[in-house]
A = this chain, B = another copy of it.
């Protein structure tokens, strides 16, 4: 990655800090930004037909996130993205992201590598966990993959991400702790 490119990147990168509980993207928005979390915690969720909030995904430091429904399919966001802690993000709109890509081959690789890759990798790992693992194993896998998440986030959010109810997650935790002997 050359210096010229780095300057261009820096010229186009914005940063912003959100307080705990603020919405970065709201359901229905058509924002095109790609966000990088410098510090903090974000969850995406929607409200289902029963009026319940269902958490779809959790993002922490060094992770990229964005409104995939708009970025990839030009549709309004199905999810709201809300901070669970005071959160500092770097961001730029996807067009700039793509302009940088076509100017710079290194960045083009990064484009697919960082944005596409990271998101695809997470997506595939997650589908894997639903297809190949029981809820109990899936929880243990999640603990391994995101060991710090459990201490920063209410269990009910984790339960949603794993596709089970909070009550069931609580029972799984109990079962695991009994098995430890």
Using a CB–CB cutoff of 8 Å, the interface residues on chain A facing chain B are 48, 54, 56, 68, 72-73, 102, 105, 108, 112, 116-117, 119-121, 123-124, 126-128, 130-132, 160-161, 163
B residues less than 8 Å from A105 (CB atoms): 102
Q: Interface SS of chain A: helix, strand, loop or mixed?
A: helix
Q: 5 smallest A-B Cβ distances: which pairs?
A: A123-B123, A130-B130, A130-B163, A131-B163, A126-B127
- Nearest-Cβ distance from residue A49 to partner chain B, whole angstroms: 10
Q: Report Cα–Cα, A123/B127, bound state, in Å.
A: 7
The residue from B54, B116, B117, B123 contacting A132, defined by CB atoms under 8 A apart: B54
Contact, CB under 8 Å: A120 / B123 = yes
B residues less than 8 Å from A131 (CB atoms): 54, 56, 160-161, 163
30 A–B pairs (Cβ distance < 8 Å), ordered by A: A48-B132, A54-B131, A54-B132, A56-B127, A56-B128, A56-B131, A68-B120, A68-B124, A72-B116, A72-B117, A72-B120, A72-B121, A73-B117, A73-B121, A102-B105, A102-B108, A112-B112, A112-B116, A116-B116, A116-B120, A120-B120, A120-B123, A123-B123, A123-B124, A123-B127, A126-B127, A130-B163, A131-B160, A131-B161, A131-B163
Most buried by B among A48, A73, A120, A131: A131
B residues less than 8 Å from A119 (CB atoms): 120
Q: Report Cα–Cα, A102/B109, bound state, in Å.
A: 11
Q: Report Cα–Cα, A54/B105, bound state, in Å.
A: 39
- Nearest-Cβ distance from residue A162 to partner chain B, whole angstroms: 8
- Nearest-Cβ distance from residue A107 to partner chain B, whole angstroms: 12
- Nearest-Cβ distance from residue A25 to partner chain B, whole angstroms: 15
